Amino acid sequence: MATQTLRIKRRLAGNPGAPASLASSELAYNCVDQTLYIGHGDNGSGIAQSIVAVGGAQALGDYVTLNSDQTINGNKTFSGVVGLGSATVTGLGLNDLSDADISGVISGQVLQYNGEKWVPITQSPDGVLGVEADANSGIYAITEGGDVAIGGVDASSVVKGVVRFANAAEVTAGIAGNLAVSPKDLEATKYELPAATDSALGGIKVGSGLLITGDGTLSASLQGALVFKGTTDITKQAPAASQGDSYINEVEGEANSSWSGLEGEQVADGALVIYDGSEWATQAMQVDAGVVGVEATSPLACDNTNPAHPLLSIQDATVAQKGAVRLANASDIANGTASRVVTSDGLKAYVGAQIPVGQHDGDLLVWNAQAGAYQVQHVIDGGTF
């Protein structure tokens, strides 16, 4: 997006100094003496009572600069942390600090701040006097006569400590103790189930004609394997059959004793009789009558004047219910026609015809009361003095 230009009142050449007058809080910059001025106060008519330099070369005497040499006079009070960074501080001694006690300080003395003031501390000529180890750290430390012995604690189920990696034999044998197992050791001991054979147990895959459920139950599946053989009389001798053979019973009655699995049972007329390879079973037949009527819920409507040919339709949309709508054209948008839907392309065409097009990124849309229309501008100019 292009940068928007915003200019204040300015003087590019001529005399140094402030403008003759400014409005209250109005800014003006004189390039001759490189000074920024502001209108201070208000005379009751919007005119400043005085003009004050607030920045630039002439006003530098009233401000601390970032990069120039200056001498700062007067008492200054700081709050919070003062960071000097890599700056060099000269002419400052500890006796100039109100919270530093330097009585009895000798050359090489170390001072420590105790929360209230700086105090000398005693240095031990023997270095570290002792080392302690946290009981839960996995190490131990013993200090005797200035010497420190540090070692690791064996890990257990209740204590954190050091371990040794187990080898393949120890993993296989399940040796107890503080032994860790690496992925390489696990790879050496992994077990893969062999495929089953006609003489050895092993893993199998589910083949055709079988079905396995999520809990591992294996059963026979006859889906797609039925062979329709025609009709039969359940009260007479059963035919020779193979797995999947099926018949429709055409005589209601008690099954003949030759129908293994059904012998002595009452079988309905029209029942499907299926042979699974070892015995017979029945399955009731269901005949659907097809669609007998059509109903609709809002916003759909159904006219059943002719039951053989129901007529479906969509109700008109309102503020209270969903339904069908018609898209608005340009005239509908301009006139605010009710019950019309505005699309993005229709709205773009309407808005584009009402709002002038800008020329640059960041252009402003300004109302011109004299012209009675919006106009595009890309510069805000405060003028000169």
- Contact 58/40 with Cβ under 8 angstroms? no
What's the predicted TM-score (pTM) here? 0.25
Q: Which sign, positive or negative, has the C-alpha torsion 234, 240, 246, 247?
A: negative
Are residues 24 and 48 in contact, defined by beta-carbon separation less than 8 angstroms? Answer: yes
The 10s digit of each residue's pLDDT in 341-373 is 878 776 666 655 566 777 777 777 777 777 767
Contact call for residues 10 and 385 (beta carbons, < 8 A): yes
| Residue 354, token pair as written in the block | 């009402």
Say which range, 25-29, 147-151, 267-271, has the weakest mean pLDDT: 147-151
What pLDDT is stored for residue 235 in this prediction? 93
Answer for the pair 4, 370: CB distance below 8 angstroms, yes or no: no
Mean pLDDT over 52-72 rounds to: 69
**What's the pLDDT at 126?**
55
Residues 302, 294: Cα–Cα separation, whole Å: 7
Give me the pLDDT at residue 128, please. Answer: 58
* Identity of the amino acid at 247: Y
Per-residue pLDDT band for 154 (boundaries 50, 70, 90) equals: confident
Percent of the chain with pLDDT over 70: 67
Judge whether 196 and 221 are in contact, CB under 8 Å: no
Neighbouring CB atoms inside 10 A of 52's CB total 14
Alpha helices in 69-220 (DSSP H): 168-173, 183-188
Rounded to an integer, what distance in angstroms lies between the CA atom of residue 147 and that of residue 303? 102
Q: What is the pLDDT of residue 104?
A: 60
- In terms of pLDDT, which residue wins out, 183 or 97? 183
pLDDT tens by residue, 368-380: 777 767 677 766 6
Higher pLDDT among residues 64 and 124, named by residue: 64
CB-count exposure of residue 39 (10 Å: 0-12, 13-18, 19+)? buried
What are the tokens at 194? Answer: 């062999």
pLDDT band at 75 (very low <50, low <70, confident <90, very high): confident
Residue 243 has pLDDT above 80, yes or no: yes
CA distances from 334 to 319, 328, 343, 349 (A): 21, 10, 14, 11
The answer, yes or no, to whether residue 147 has pLDDT greater than 60, is yes
pLDDT higher than 70, residue 58: no
Residue type, 48: A
Q: How far apart are the first and last CA of the chain?
A: 31
Closest among 258, 196, 206 to 232, alpha carbons compared: 258
Which of 385, 382, 48 lies closest to 39, judged by CA? 48
- Give the model's pLDDT for residue 60: 57
pLDDT digits (tens, 9 = 90+) for 278-337: 899 987 665 555 566 788 888 888 888 887 778 888 888 888 888 888 887 877 777 778
Query: Which of helix, strand or coil describes residue 61?
Result: helix
Q: What percent of the chain has pLDDT over 90?
A: 15
At residue 345, the pLDDT reads 74
Cis bond upstream, residue 307 (ω within 30)? no
The predicted structure's pLDDT at residue 158: 72
